[in-house]
Amino acid sequence: MIYFSEYSSPAGILCMESSGSELTALYFKENAQIKSSKSLILKDDLSLFMLIREWLDRYFAGENSPIEGLPLNLEGSDFRKLVWKYLLEIPYGEVVTYGELAKRVAKDLNKEKMSSRAIGNAVKNNPIAIIIPCHRVVSKAGIGGYNAGVERKILLLRLEKIAKNNFNKIF
């Protein structure tokens, strides 16, 4: 069984999915069509969803909430999981470029280099938005893309007080 609930945030409605004990997905409602067509059971009172709501409340209040202790279940290839692990290491209020991330992943995989495009694809397929901070990955030329829209990415970066001058003329 897959349970779901919604959370109303300043960036829009977020949908949460869970197996019951672990968060398996967190995405903007408008992006629901890109998720698989699983049979979902509404369960607003699931204790995990209450925990995630509390974390999101703190995040949207501008707090740097630690993710340690949040039960997350990431399904994906080993490569994607490695990239998502690196996303979790990007500190609150900071950004890294796709190229920087590619260098880190290449080193981990004992490769001479890694395609920034491959990194971008893994970042794009992050199943747990915001908590796994894919919005903190930017292009070397500016803000870069975001599955939920560049405007939302800018909103999240501003919330984390990331300086405008990090993005040339984007803001």
Mean pLDDT of all residues in the chain? 90
Mean pLDDT of 64-76: 92
- Mind listing the pLDDT tens digit for each residue in 120-151? 999 999 999 999 999 999 998 888 888 888 99
Rounded-to-integer distance, Cα 74 and Cα 22, Å: 9
Does residue 155 form part of some domain? yes
Angle, alpha carbons 104-24-106 (nearest 5°): 10
Q: Hey, which residues are catalytic here?
A: 134
Query: For the chain, first and last CA: distance in Å?
Result: 42
Q: Is 70 part of a structural domain of the chain?
A: no
What is the H or E stretch that residue 12 is in?
strand 12-18
Alpha helices in the chain (DSSP H): 47-60, 78-88, 98-108, 116-124, 150-159
Residues 116, 156: one domain? yes
Residues 96-106 have a mean pLDDT of: 96
The DSSP bridge pattern shows strands 96-97 and 137-138 to be parallel
Question: Does 124 map to a domain?
Answer: yes
Residues spanned by the domain of 86: 78-167
Q: Are residues 23 and 89 in the same domain?
A: no
On whether both 44 and 96 belong to a single domain, the answer is no
- Domain co-membership, 162 together with 122: yes
Output the pLDDT for position 165. 54
| 15 within domain boundaries | yes
Residue 6, Cβ density class (10 Å: 0-12 exposed, 13-18 middle, ≥19 buried)? middle
CATH of the domain at 102: 1.10.10.10
Whether residues 96 and 122 share a domain: the answer is yes
Number of structural domains in the chain: 2
* pLDDT tens for each residue of 22-44: 999 999 998 765 455 568 899 99
